[in-house]
Structure 1
């Protein structure tokens, strides 16, 4: 069921929005009447995606790994539409394979985009919102914020780091009028997840995540898992002793070393996980 988000007239900035989950979020919110800014390393693709959206949307150049680029993005959005009501940190990259085989460039890139990119976005946007006494910072993280699939060691580390960082910032912003939310989907059908296994749950669509983001904007809360039952299972599993908990996780959580298809991921990883990538997601 479509959310009745009170988005009309709100200024919403989204990182990694040219394609995939970010583009689906932009489409959902633009259709609801928001002014939507699509930031992406591929500025031309962001502009093309924005041009096809209903309502008011525009594409902007954004490299979430560079302070000046992120600041310039926020400034450009505010110059166009006024103060940003919502920042959605969505840009992310993932390398899959045995931890000892991960190239150093892939490790650096995941830390720079997935973790430091979120830290940078919050650090730059939150003070603007706190000064006005309102705002909402939403981060599209992953179920890997709470779980750690084999074959996703660094990716899971970045998502665990994001969860911890946002938890601490939330405590600091308590009472400021600024909301924080972390949305944690399982495997989503995007190039980032190409060739990976969803494990015991069905693969999500980008639109599933977009609806979850729209819902959390309408009903702010800190944690959102998609699908919701995964969050419940994680909480229940954490009540178990180590041995049965480990056995349960082995049944539910995919092993991306044995269950993924490296050939299907090769193009994505070449394009995104070098020191000079073509696009973040």
Structure 2
């Protein structure tokens, strides 16, 4: 059955891979991100219907308008994949209030607002899927990313609380927790490591690859496969599914 899906952060990386996978499964996919050009490029790749909805997910009014646009075109969102996120690397003592707030707004508050907007219609319909792209640092602390780690710990708690609330309604809420994924976001991390340590970009990338037992970066498609699992199963609820090559075993 074709469902109405919304993917935030859909212009590249994991969001693009998730959108492609959902579309290949026969669903209609609304693509949300700040950059219209990237969204239109992804929309052109999808085999099925796509809706380009430019919006800054940290802007509450813009996010509400994005949901309204999808509802006006296709009806209520049935599958929400809250993927938009980013991180800044800095020692805790050098992390500014602005960096802290930005991490919370994008990685925690935006998924909260997305859920708050999407869940009522899902519960009413007695069917819905919410998947938040979190991180393995939702389950462990990691040096140099205190704000990012705190925001991802928070969003995993949000997922678990929401899942408990809707468990009897036919709606599921889960998180997918990737390790280092081969995306533009990781490219930024690689550049930061290279600048901080004097390593080459390739050496810095290998540092991240070696943090995962499989010895390589995770692919965006591998993260999308975990999202598909959450969308397809009514019995997976309240979980943080690790996609990290075995770095965090839980």
Q: Extract unaligned runs of 5+ from structure 2.
A: 194-207
What is the TM-score when the length of structure 1 is the normalising length? Answer: 0.76
Q: For residues 182-232 of structure 1, what are the alpha-carbon distances to aligned partners after superposition, in whole Å with 9 as ceiling and x for unaligned?
A: 11111111122221624133211111111111122112413211147445x
What is the aligned partner in structure 2 of residue 204 from structure 1? 218
Q: What residue number does 2:100 align with?
A: 107
Contact 2:11/2:32 (CA < 8 Å) preserved in 1?
yes
**What is the alpha-carbon distance in structure 1 between the residues aligned to residue 44 and residue 212 of structure 2?**
37
Q: State whether residues 223 and 243 of structure 2, in contact with CA within 8 Å, keep that contact through their aligned partners in structure 1.
A: yes
Q: Any idea what SS the aligned residue of 1:138 has?
A: strand
Where in structure 2 are the equivalents of 1:66-81 lying within 5 Å?
66-81=59-74
What is aligned with 1:5?
Answer: none
TM-score (norm 2): 0.85
How many angstroms does 1:86 deviate by? 0.4
Identify if the C-alpha distance between structure 1 residues 164 and 176 changes in structure 2 by more than 3 Å, giving closer, same or farther: same
SS in 1 for 2:168: coil
- Give the unaligned 5+ runs of structure 1: 1-7, 236-281
Per-residue deviation, residues 229-259 of structure 1 (Å, max 9, x unmatched): 445x2x4xxxxxxxxxxxxxxxxxxxxxxxx
1:15·1:91 contact (CA, 8 Å) conserved in 2? yes
- Runs ≥4 residues deviating over 6 A: none
Query: Per the alignment, in what secondary structure is the counterpart of residue 80 of structure 2?
Result: strand
CA distance in 2 between counterparts of 1:70 and 1:58 reads 15
CA distance in 2, matches of 1:216, 1:137: 8
Residue in 2 that maps onto 1:178:
171
Query: Are 1:130 and 1:177, in contact at CA under 8 Å, matched by a contact in 2?
Result: yes
Deviation at 1:83, TM superposition (A): 2.2
RMSD over equivalenced CA pairs, Å: 1.6
Tell me what 1:155 maps to. Answer: 148
Instruction: Count the aligned residue pairs.
Output: 226
Aligned residue number for residue 193 of structure 1: 186
Aligned to 1:216: 230
What secondary structure does 1:187 align onto?
coil
Measured in 2, the distance between the counterparts of 1:136 and 1:26 equals 15
Matched, 1:116 2:106: no
Matched residue, 2:42: 49
Structure 2 contact 23–47 (Cα < 8 Å) conserved: yes
Does the 8 Å CA contact 1:51/1:58 hold for their aligned counterparts?
no
Tell me the secondary structure at the aligned position of residue 159 of structure 1: helix
Alpha-carbon distance in 1 for matches of 2:109, 2:177? 18
Distance 1:172 1:15 in 2: 23
Q: What SS does the aligned partner of 2:132 have?
A: strand
Aligned to 1:226: 243
